Amino acid sequence: MKKRLMTLAAVIAAVAGATCAQGQFYKIRGLEAGASATGRYVTPISNENSVTPRPTEGVGLLVTLRAAPKSWLGLEANYGLNHYNERYSTQGVTDRTVNDRINTYQHEATLGYVLHLKTLYGIQPFVVVGGGATDFLPRGGGQNQWRGAGMYEVGFDYIPKRSPHVGFRIQQHALLYKAPDYYQNALRSNTWVHQSSPAAGVFVRF
CATH of residue 155 = 2.40.160.20
Contacts 24+ apart (CB under 8 A), 70-75: 70/26, 70/29, 71/29, 71/116, 72/115, 72/116, 72/117, 73/113, 73/114, 73/115, 73/116, 74/113, 74/114, 74/116, 75/19, 75/22, 75/23, 75/111, 75/112, 75/113, 75/114
Q: What is the rounded CA–CA span in Å between residue 38 and residue 2? A: 25
Regions of the chain where pLDDT drops below 50: 15, 18-26, 93-98
pLDDT of amino acid 42: 95
The β-bridge partners of 64 are 34, 78
The pLDDT of residue 88 is: 86
Cα-Cα end-to-end distance for the chain:
34
Domain span holding position 117? 1-205
pTM reported for the whole predicted model: 0.81
Phi, psi angles (nearest 5°) of residue 5: -65, -35
Residue 94: the pLDDT is: 36
So what's the pLDDT on residue 63?
98
pLDDT of residue 1: 55
Residue 167: which of 202, 125, 201, 118 has the closest Cα?
Answer: 202
Q: Return the pLDDT at 92.
A: 54
**Domains: count for the chain:** 1
- Return the SS3 of 135: strand
The answer to whether the CB of 32 falls within 8 A of the CB of 19 is no
Rg (CA), the chain: 19
